Structure 1
Amino acid sequence: MTPAGADFAAAAEPLRAELLAHCYRLLGSRHDAEDAVQETYLRAWRAYDRFEGRSTLRRWLYAIATRASLTAIEQRSRRAYPLEPLPDSLIGGDDPAAAVAARAGVRLAFVAALQRLPARQRAVLVLRDVLQWPAAEVAQLLDMTGAGVNSALQRARATLARLDLDLDDVAEPADTTVLDRYAAAFEHADVGRLADLVRDDVVLDMPPRARTYHGREAVLGFLAGKVHGRSWRVVATRANGQAAFECHLPEGLHALHVLTFRDGRIGRITVFLQE
């Protein structure tokens, strides 16, 4: 590695986790985001000798990552959005400030909502509302006018406001007692134990499938048909800044359940099947 390459690696590598989170917000897929970050670092390394320091290295890399993500969105425009969970372990790191920056705006409801926006509106909303970039910088990056940025931001905010989703970026802390009882219910194949843990208006969804179950009766009815008669092993983890469980069958990992809490009980169960 050349001296310049070594300098670039030393300066850029600590930013990888937050760049991954940024690409994930735009793409909704851990794997697509990882590809976009790799593309970002490749582009940046090739251009590093021309980096003039007019902005910080962080801003420069974010700009490259945004362009890489927009290119990825264009290339997959005919596919359904591939919403995937993002393990907390990928957006941690030793720098607490960087971890906070990475974890901002990665709650599943927010990321899922973003995927419903046109690519430019999605980028404008993330850059302006999550990263707090000035409108002029966003306009320059996206080759838009300042008025165009403001208009796109207003349309994006209006679209999100119409969605029936909890878009609060601060996840309510999970009740550890509820989590223990949730795990026990699966390991004993007894969905009846979940009845007191979930809200009356609980929702269960399974991205990218369109089917969604609303209400305690519908959700528990669906889970009952999947849980009974099977041997489960449940492992606690975290994804998207939220409590989650890996649900294993003897043949391997079957699903990841990401839980959203409201008022001390489970308000949403997002199930990612391992197919």
Structure 2
Amino acid sequence: MSQRLGRVTRVSVLAERFDSKDAFLADAQRYRRELMAHCYRMTGSLHDAEDLVQETYLRAWKSYEGFQGRSSIRTWLYRIATNTCLTALDGRARRPLPSGLGAPSSDPTADIAEHHEITWLEPLPDSPREHPSDPSVIVASRDSVRLAFIAALQHLPPRQRAVLVMREVLQWKAAEVGEAIGASTAAVNSLLQRARAQLDEVQPSQDDDLAEPETPEAQELLAKYISAFETYDMDALVTLFTDDAIFEMPPFDGWYQGPTDIVALSKTHCPAEGPGDMRFIATTANGQPAAALYMLNRETGAHEAFQMHVLSVQSGGVSHVVAFHAGDGSFAKFGLPATL
């Protein structure tokens, strides 16, 4: 009887707080950013994550009258978002980076080929309003969207991916995860064990000690990186990379390792011809330093959106760069103009 009265009381409180489904939906918007990150971890796509968050809110709005208040609104939304992602991922191929396709590093002087038929991993713009009073929360949030982690998650089947994210990132109990995805606690623990084992095989160890984007070291290296490209100083560029640095640029399927090969790639295939052809805007993506590249269009005289370079910065230099093609209005998602 007391449990029933408690449940009725919680529902009554919710009814008083949200006098309509629209009022509930308006209040639930405060969780949009974290739900976006959750759906991004599940899918590896900003565009898909945006659609899935919209679907999550639509499903929540439609089923709100059945919400009994046994969990928080936030937990309830995460359950809906997770199952929405699992439905969307059914039968879909994973989103890789070129270095995750299983091929060896490429010859930087060989021809390069675009592969738009592959659904590539996409970058995630950082929130401009992360709470500065709790650095530990910021770091944990950034770690969970690092490119290396998101790329590694793509190797997991969707249910393993969901369990790992909910247990390791959201810190849910196994029983809570099981209730959310319709599995027993034993099944959740088994899925988590397999996911951890698979992740240990594919996640690179070189990204364990990345510098935070606001640290002096990261900012200095990003500034030098931008300057080397803008002045077309390849001798300066080669000194910025670690010995085993990786450079890749989806939708091209090749990846390149080592400072010499990276610079040779730039000299061979970059459309820039000299100083001034490239301009950059420093930003952040996936909790990492990033630089938006604008390439000179010689016909119009304008610098146009070209690539988003997301850097992994460590004590020895730049260890990894993913140069994402600036397509489908991706610069606008970062609050950046299409031309300079």
Paired residue type of 1:204: F
TM-score (norm. length: structure 1): 0.90
Kindly state the Cα deviation for residue 87 of structure 1 after the two structures are TM-superposed: 0.5
Aligned to 2:230: 187
The 5 A counterparts of 1:32-51 are 32-51=48-67
Alignment of 1:229-244 (within 5 A): 229=273, 231-244=277-290
Counterpart Cα distance in 2 of 1:164 and 1:6: 42
Contact 1:191–1:227 (Cα < 8 Å) also in 2: no
- 1:53-84 deviation line (CA, Å, top 9, x unaligned): 10000100000000111112115348844310
- Identity among equivalent positions (%) equals 44
Match runs of 1:98-137 below 5 Å: 100=138, 102-137=141-176
The residue number in structure 2 matching 1:249 is: 295
Give the TM-score, by structure 2 length.
0.74
Paired letter, 1:142 = I
- Secondary structure of the structure 2 residue equivalent to 1:213: strand
Q: Does the 8 A contact of 1:261 with 1:267 survive in 2? A: yes
CA gap of 1:246–1:211, structure 2 versus 1, over 3 A, is same
Distance 1:123 1:236 in 2: 33
Structure 1 ranges of 4+ moved more than 4 A: 78-81, 93-99, 167-170
Q: Taking structure 1 as reference, are residues 260 and 113 closer, same or farther at Cα in structure 2, changes over 3 Å only?
A: same
Larger radius of gyration: 2
Task: Describe the SS at the equivalent of 2:318.
Answer: strand
Aligned mates of 1:125, 1:167 — CA distance in 2: 21
Q: Which moved more, 1:240-249 or 1:171-180?
A: 171-180
Corresponding position of 1:270: 322
* Pair 169,58 (structure 1): closer, same or farther in 2 beyond 3 Å: farther
Task: Give the distance between the partners of 1:80 and 1:116, measured in 2 at CA.
Answer: 15
SS at match of 1:11: helix
- Report the Cα distance in structure 1 between the residues aligned to 2:63 and 2:39, rounded to whole angstroms: 20
Unmatched segments (≥5 aa) in structure 1: none
Partner of 1:64: 80
What is the aligned partner in structure 1 of residue 111 from structure 2? none
Aligned residues: 273
User: For 1:89, what is the secondary structure of its paired residue?
Assistant: coil
Q: What are the ranges of 5 or more consecutive residues in structure 2 without an aligned counterpart?
A: 1-17, 95-116, 298-303, 328-340
SS at 2:261's partner residue? helix
Q: Does the 8 A contact of 1:202 with 1:266 survive in 2?
A: yes
- Gap change, CA 1:5 and 1:167, over 3 Å in 2: farther
222-231 vs 197-206, which moves further: 222-231
Distance in 2 (alpha carbons) for counterparts of 1:137 and 1:160 = 22
2:122 maps to what in 1?
A: 84
Worse overlay, 3-12 or 71-80:
71-80
| Residue 241 of structure 2: aligned partner | 198
SS state at 1:269 partner = strand
Q: Which amino acid aligns with 1:261?
A: V
- 2:257 alignment counterpart: 214
Give 2:294's aligned amino acid: H
Relative to structure 1, the CA distance from residue 204 to residue 250 in structure 2 (aligned partners, 3 Å threshold; closer, same or farther) is: same
Q: Which residue of 2 aligns with 1:162?
A: 201
For 1:259 and 1:270, how far apart are their aligned partners in 2? 7
Q: CA RMSD in A?
A: 2.4
CA contact (8 A) 2:242 2:316 kept: no
The residue type equivalent to 1:41 in the other structure is Y
Deviation digits for residues 206-261 of structure 1 (CA, Å, limit 9, x no counterpart) = 24544211112211211222164051111101000100000001341110000001
Amino acid at match of 2:233: D
Letter in 2 for 1:82: W
For 1:81 and 1:99, the matched residues in 2 are separated by: 31
Provide closer, same or farther for how the CA distance between residues 9 and 164 of structure 1 changes in structure 2, counting only shifts above 3 A. closer
1:240 corresponds to which letter in structure 2? Answer: N
Check whether the contact 1:195–1:220 (CA below 8 A) recurs between aligned residues. Answer: yes
Residue number in structure 1 paired with 2:98: none
> Residue type matched to 1:221 in 2?
A
Mark the CA change 1:7 to 1:38 in structure 2 (over 3 Å): closer, same or farther: same
C-alpha distance in 2, partners of 1:272/1:263?
24
